[in-house]
Amino acid sequence: MAYRNAMDALGDPTRRAIFERLREGAVSVGEIADELPVSRPAVSQHLRVLKEAGLVRERRDGTRRLYRVDPDALGELRDYFDDFWTQALASFKAEAERERRNE
């Protein structure tokens, strides 16, 4: 499930910090490494995890690769809650009707 992956990906404080930085606009690995106490290889690795979780997108700008937050992440969030409430209301219905039968 995409949202579960997103939660796992953001469970790491460094990845959250990188993700936070990307909110301000598209940046390169080098720019992130310059601003945060993280090496370039480590930044690349974190970006890969964020990308696989559907949170971050990559594009080429000449020879540079730029990273930014994936706007579709918003849709995934909504879908997560849609699924969540379907599950929760099914559970609620079962409980309400079970109790009633026992009355």
Partner 1 sequence: MSTQAQDLTVRKSVVVDCSPEHAFETFTSRIYTWWPFETHSPADERPEDAIFEPGVGGRVYDRMASGEEHEWATVLEWEPPRRFVIDWHVTPGNPSTELEVRFLPEGGATRVELEHRGWERYGDDARDTFASYDSGWETVLRPFVEAALKSS
Look-up: residue for tokens 């409430």? 85
Shortest separation between residue 49's beta carbon and partner 1, angstroms: 14
Q: Which is nearer to partner 1, 52 or 85 (CB)?
A: 85
Q: Which residues would be at the binding site for partner 1 (CB under 8 A)?
A: 6-7, 10-11, 16-17, 19-20, 22-23, 55, 68-71, 73-75, 77-78, 81-82, 84-97, 99-100
Return the number of the residue (60 or 98) whose C-beta is nearest partner 1: 98
How far apart (Å, rounded) are the C-alpha atoms in residues 20 and 68? 10
Report which DSSP code applies to 66. E
* Count of other CB atoms within 10 angstroms of residue 22: 20
